[in-house]
Amino acid sequence: MNNIGVFCAASDRLDAHYYELAEQFGKWLGENGKTLVYGGANSGLMESIAKGVKSTGGTVVGIVPRILETKRRASTYIDEIVPCVDLNDRKAILIDRSDVLVALPGGVGTLDEIFTVMASHSIGYHTKRVVLFNLDGFWDGVIEVLHELDRKHFVNVPLDRYLSVASSWEELFALL
């Protein structure tokens, strides 16, 4: 797995340790010859992870919606910009260009991306996995909801076919 898709927050109002987490993950990607494929914004965890990748000489592919380009919100750390029409287009390209998708802490957009990967896998569009990086229990609530859906038989394909949870750096690196 060389092309690592990452979903994460674009907010600049988070606690500092989230930016450090994203930059640290970016450094690991670059040091290990992985290519970051992400949403391309110049803010929040998106900018931090791209900065980390570039600081170690890695490659960054930004899937950048037209609205970000026109508002000059695309990161300057991007090596390859892949323009797209909107968020739906961005998700489709990001999934296509990635071998696996990792969700760092994020908000509504990240949830949308996670669920899109899982839903499209469950009906056969692809066989890619999403990894929730659950450091400090960030994704505990989402994981609980997913397991409840599974227990009540609202999940037709077993979750473990397309969802992994990493609660430590070691677990995350082992999955990649």
> Is residue 1 very low, low, confident or very high in pLDDT (cuts 50, 70, 90)?
confident
CATH code of the region 3-175: 3.40.50.450
Q: What is the pLDDT of residue 67?
A: 79
Q: What is the pLDDT of residue 68?
A: 73
Q: Residue 37: its pLDDT value, please?
A: 98
pLDDT band with cut points at 50, 70 and 90 for residue 28: very high
The pLDDT score that the predictor gives to residue 87 is: 92
pLDDT at 72 > cutoff 80: no
Q: What is the DSSP string of 9-64?
A: ---S-S-HHHHHHHHHHHHHHHHTTPEEEE--BSSHHHHHHHHHHHHTT-EEEEEE
| Adjacent-strand bridge partners of 62 | 38, 81
Indicate whether 73 pLDDT > 90.
no
Assess whether pLDDT exceeds 80 at residue 112.
Answer: yes
Distance CA 34, CA 89 (A): 23
Average pLDDT, the chain: 95
What integer pLDDT is reported at residue 51 of this predicted model?
Answer: 98
